[in-house]
Structure formats: structure tokens, C-alpha cells
Structure 1
Amino acid sequence: MLVCAAPESQAETLLAHIGQDAVIALLTEATEGDGYVDIKHAPVRYTLNLQKRTETTIERFGLTGQLFGLPGRDMAFVVERVQPDPDPSKDAGDVLTLEVAQAVAEAASYVPEEDWVRRQLTALEEAAQLPLVLAGQAFANHERQWLAWQAEQDARPYEVETEGVICS
């Protein structure tokens, strides 16, 4: 994955201050569920919430920018904005976990025809609307509701009287 700051952006100054090695180290420490993608844009918007830990403090910040595919199945993340202490409850898009073999601080240019990341994410979004997938989701929701109803029925107290069983 190629990582760089967008030219003349707020992120360029801040990331230069932190240093490329520190940025790469932080990116490689990102865990599952730290990244969010919004595919309404071309290239897609990616937000990565990170933590920088010292012995006495934990600093939280988010890197927001463009995520796109490059030839040879490589990816690029062009950071446009660094957001201090992002609100984890704010919806930044769908969770996207990336497994990156190597992160390299190198500039990359967006070429729409080569953006395989957007094509893949768009295909996944379209597949989520297929009748078979929707039927599976409806079945799973029905099963959850039925199990909750069953648990409620099991928890109801019963009293036995001479004329039969009364449910209170």
C-alpha cells in the first residue's frame, strides 16, 4: 500500500511533522474495525482511526482521505485530513478491514480506469441487494425475533392451581 499526504493539504504539514516512519508504524498497528469506507465518492473515502500510545498517554486521531486501486493489485491511501480525537460513535461509513503486507510512503495518482478497489466495493454493495441475500437477511432477522420471543416465553412464571395451569 502506498501512503502519502495530499499536496497542499492540512495533512501534508502534520504528517511531515510526525515523520513518514511514524506514520507507517501507526498504519501497520491498525487493527480490525479501525477503518471505515464511504463508496459514494470516486475515489472512495477512507477514514482510519488510530491510537498513538506512550507510557502516560493515549492520543487518538483519524486519517481521512482517498483509497484507490493501482495496477498490480496495489492500493494507495492519500491522506487529506488529520482529525484529532475522532468520535468513535460517529458513523464514518462501512467498516473495512485491510490486510496490508507492506506500507510504503510514496505518492500515487488516481486513475479511474485502474481503480479496482472502487469496482470491488461497488460490486459488494450491489450484491447486497440481490434477492437471495435479502432473503437470507430476512430469515436471520426472523430467527433472532423468534429466539427472543422463545426466551421471553421461557421466562414467564407459571402457577399451578387445582383447576389447571395459569400463566401470569
Structure 2
Amino acid sequence: MRNSRLMVQGAAMLALGLAASGCASIKDHRGYIIDEALVASVQPGVDNKLSVERTLGRPTFTSQFGRQTWYYVAQNTKQRPFTRPRTADQNILVVDFDARGNVATLSREGMEKVVRLSPESDKTPTLGRDRSFFQDLFGNIGAVGAIPGGQGGGAPTGTGPNGS
């Protein structure tokens, strides 16, 4: 009897250990892998777009307007069981170019650029009238294809979605 009790307790402990090991958090790296030696080799006033691309590779994204800027983004994320991934650490390498395509400045940015959005509900606020399901369903009856005043080409009237 005692041996079977020990076996049951051992099996329960083993099952508990296996279940707990499956609840470990996941760590992941996304984006550019920054090599400090390569970043240090890029010199403002010396390098140009071609030499930066050969040294650091293609940027994560580039500016579309204004001064030409390249961004190299690296993120480390954590995900606990049954949750969405969250940014734990972020590093952005910003390379600014002058009008001739030479490196003007190199700078770094971090977690201050991360924004956490928290939606309030499952509804998106919109402008306009708040109508019920039945008003939407039956509100067009008589408004679609109706000829105001017996003439064609008039503006819609009535209580339909385009009427007042």
C-alpha cells in the first residue's frame, strides 16, 4: 500500500513538473542584429549611402519625406504563456545623410519610441447617427428607387440612410 502511494505521489510530482516547464516565457529577437564593430566603422563625413549599405546592410526602413534617413531597428520581445508578445528592449540606429548622400550623423534611440496602445472597447467610434439593427434593415424600404414628385433624378428624401 505504501509503495503504491509513493508511486502516485511521484507520478503527480512528475506531471506537475512537466506542466510547469510548459509555461516558460518565450524570448525572441526581431529585426536588425547590431554589430558594434561595424557601427563604429561608419564615420560621419567619410561614408556615403553605398558604403553604409555595404557595411551595415540594407536598412529596416527609410524616411519618405524631408531629410534622407535610414533606420536599423532591433527589438527583443518577451511572451508569457497565453499573452501577446511585449517589447522588452528596443534599439534603433539612425543614420542621417546630407543632400550629397554622405553620412551627416549617427544616433541611437531606444524604448522611449515604443508606444503601448490600449483600445477601450470592441467598438470603433464613428460620426453619424446611431441606428438600431432594425432601422438599418428596414430603413431603406421605399427610399431606394423612389421617384420624388413623380419625376426622376431628384435627391433622396425620407428616413433612409441618405435621407434626413
Structure 1 length-normalised TM: 0.25
Q: Decide which structure has greater strand share.
A: 1
Q: Decide which structure has greater helix share.
A: 1
Taking CA–CA contacts closer than 8 Å with sequence separation of 6 or more, which of the two structures ends up with the larger relative contact order?
A: 1
